[in-house]
Chain A
């Protein structure tokens, strides 16, 4: 436990926050912010996942640094008991709160809360990634249901963390005013005014260089596809093993439109569709019995109920029992996912119809419809 710093004799400027701690702090801020912004739109899931990994990596570093780092970064230097917190807060109200060179008791609690919440946010994020999205280290280990449940927890934890972040920022601003020193600037430069009687820390430049190299290097590797992509071959962030296919299905359905993967509607929809093949949206498909049978069997075996992809799970749970929609665009899930698409896109020549999935979804042919594998095309009218 740290002893409060006497407020007098502040002639010197002492390094309090070593460089790795500052790099941790500001990259942690950056990751948390980007994670919030990218969580608004599925399109940015790929970016969200990257900052999530960096967030996690930074936390792992910080937990280590809390044991083996420099003095003011050590957990024991700001692990105060609760009475110290109440005493500190009472001191604030009476205008007599002591100044702390490192974290004050209330701030220390906020730090622990953010670190623990951050770790839980990262872990639940990995559960969502593995279970619901089918990617990451927990792919195949976590079930879809656990992934979907983890998503709720992930969001609640992140919101709670945001609340603590606001408390932390308020505390920093308040204390900066209270003790007339710029604590934000101190977290940038690392220096605080103090007497030379206090514990000094080293910069730890080598560890800082390793951290920055790791972040920059991983970002380059992760995002290089966006740099090397061309208009003809856009970067497709997520790639997954192919979903089940069938030559007859691919040929017959693909002759007039994208061969919509069976995972995109429930089995009962496909059965009805194949039964009505002599009036397929106004066309008599004139398929022979053998072809109808083969396609129906393939569609039923791999329909939404199979849960082969995230889209399969979500389409299936959005179609009421007893309903057999004949268009994917009629399902509640499709509608919800596309409600924010401006009308001008649907009307543009480049998209033309809502069946033209491939105009935006770069992996439409594979049937996956991964969150980040889409982008709004340049409209003909805007070219």
Chain B
């Protein structure tokens, strides 16, 4: 009973921590000029292919490293290192660290899109991802 209760407590705490971090990021994106956020736009971005600048004919997208299934583990495209699931439902550490999120947005948007993501794109994506 106590075990269940404490598990529930941790779960609630992590969910609320996620909620606070994401909400704060979303409002800062709005202050940077973004409009209302849409989960379906975020999902579209997740699925969109971008040309691979290094290998003509090939494409890059989010699942190149994270895999098609957000709840499953992914694999780094060049080093092969296993990446823990990106979906917060499968990995409670996700969406709990604003600095971490921003670092990876910058790193991965540049790699996949060839440029940094706009506040609108980032907000759409987080809105999509938090439901997963």
Where the two chains meet, the residues of A that have a C-beta atom closer than 8 Å to any C-beta of B are 256-258, 281-287, 352-353, 355-356
Which of under 10, 10 to 19, 20 to 34, or 35 or more describes the interface residues of B? 10 to 19
**Does A257 lie within 8 Å of B76, measured CB to CB?**
yes
**Inter-chain contact A352/B80, CB cutoff 8 Å:** yes
- Closest chain B CB from A218 CB (angstroms): 41
B92 interface hit (Cβ, 8 Å) = no
Given the known interface contacts A284-B106, A286-B103, A287-B103, the answer about A257 and B111 at a Cβ–Cβ threshold of 8 Å is no
Nearest CB on A from B86, distance (A): 13
B contact face: mostly helix, strand, loop, or mixed: loop
Are B107 and A286 in contact, CB atoms less than 8 angstroms apart? yes
Closest-CB distance, A276 to chain B (whole angstroms): 14
Please give me the 9 A-B residue pairs with the lowest Cβ-Cβ distance, nearest first: A286-B106, A257-B79, A352-B80, A284-B110, A286-B107, A286-B103, A257-B81, A355-B79, A256-B76
Report A361 CB to chain B, min CB distance, Å.
15
- Which residues of chain B have C-beta atoms less than 8 A from A353's C-beta? 78-80
Q: Mark B64-82, 1 if CB is under 8 A from A, else 0.
A: 0000000000001011110
Q: How far is the CA of A126 from the CA of B106 in the complex (A)?
A: 53
* Residue among A281, A282, A285, A356 making CB contact with B80, cutoff 8 Å: A356
B54 in the interface (beta carbon within 8 A): yes
Find chain A residues with CB under 8 A from B80 CB.
352-353, 356
Contacting pair A356 B79 (CB below 8 A): yes
Q: With A281-B78, A282-B78, A287-B103 given, name 16 new contacts (CB 8 A).
A: A256-B79, A256-B81, A257-B76, A257-B79, A258-B81, A282-B54, A283-B107, A283-B110, A284-B106, A284-B110, A284-B111, A286-B107, A286-B110, A352-B80, A353-B79, A356-B80
Instruction: Please report the C-alpha to C-alpha distance between residue A356 and residue B106 in the assembled complex, in whole angstroms.
Output: 25
